[in-house]
Amino acid sequence: MLISIIIMMACFVTVTFELGYVLYVFHTCRSIKCVVTASKKVCAREDGFLIKEYWKTEVEFTLNGDVRHTALETSTYCQKGQVLGCYYHPKKDLVFRKRDIKRVLRSYSLPALTIGLLFMMLYSLFKLTSLGNIIIGHAFEAVGILLIVVFASFGVGFIVYAVSAFRHTRESRVTQIDAKITDIVRKTKRHRETKRYLYYPIYSYKLGGFEHSVRSKLGRETPPKKDSTERVLADTKKGGLVEYKDMSSSFVMGLCFLVIAWLLLYTIAFMK
């Protein structure tokens, strides 16, 4: 009992300090508008495929009346004159985009925050449901309840993902356009002793008066044909691709998880 209380207090202190640190970073960082002045592609190749690529984007911004210049690493091409929403960290004198928030956080902040919150939630569930008594008297029921929670959570998560993806692809700001595959990124996936490749096409298209070059998030087992044209979904507001994996399979998988959870619940109730 004493050990669990000590662990709980340690997690509470960790979460408090790390959450405070994350909020402090967000509070001290200033939101700025950066104007793109140049964008140059940096890449490395192997067997004719890209294995590393990013855009070195030169930007300028105004801070305290002074015009400053810096370079950002972006995953997409940014046209000259395009405005990017960024943040400025005064202590590190660093400009970064919102997706790169990890660059100004301690390496262990987010893992510590996640693990601490997860343990606190499990501990609260343990106490509120008197799970300790269940484990002592009915170990099978305890494991069953935990499995029900896990499978039900996965089921709801998959279904919510499928429904939200389905709705997003039908929003008014999503449009279909013809995009040209200008290059292909190859990534190596290893599983034990086996090695396989996944291929990610880079699409180029014009949208909203700007030229966009965006790498697909969905890898393929076989490489697509370079310089070919494919029909893709694009966000007319943000300019990026709208990509989701097969939504029907996610929906079916979610239903399967819910069915398993219901069968476990029925089994536990029947055996009482």
Tell me whether residue 154 is in a domain.
no
Contact 86, 69 (CB under 8 A): no
Q: Note down the domain range covering 231.
A: 174-243
Q: Report, as an integer, the average pLDDT of 179-192.
A: 84
Residue 18 has pLDDT above 60, yes or no: yes
What pTM was computed for the model?
0.46
Tell me whether residue 221 is in a domain.
yes
Number of Cβ atoms within 10 Å of the Cβ of 241: 20
| Between 108 and 157, residue with greater pLDDT | 157
Tell me whether residue 194 is in a domain.
yes
Tell me whether residue 188 is in a domain.
yes
Question: Residue-wise over 192-219: b if at least 16 C-beta within 10 A, else e?
Answer: eeeeeeebbbbbebebeeeebbbbbeee
| Between 170 and 150, residue with greater pLDDT | 150
Contact 159, 255 (CB under 8 A): yes
Tell me whether residue 141 is in a domain.
no
pLDDT digits (tens, 9 = 90+) for 89-114: 888 788 887 767 666 666 666 677 67
Residue 190 has pLDDT above 70, yes or no: yes
The listed range with the strongest mean pLDDT (50-54, 157-161, 168-172) is 157-161
Q: Tell me which of 112, 134, 160 is where a domain ends.
A: 112
Residues 107 and 35 in one domain: yes
Tell me whether residue 81 is in a domain.
yes
| Between 20 and 109, residue with greater pLDDT | 20
pLDDT at 137: 47
* Residue 191, strand partner residues: 194
Tell me whether residue 199 is in a domain.
yes
| Between 22 and 213, residue with greater pLDDT | 213
Residue 207 has pLDDT above 90, yes or no: no
Q: Tell me which of 72, 96, 112 is where a domain ends.
A: 112
Domain count, the chain: 2
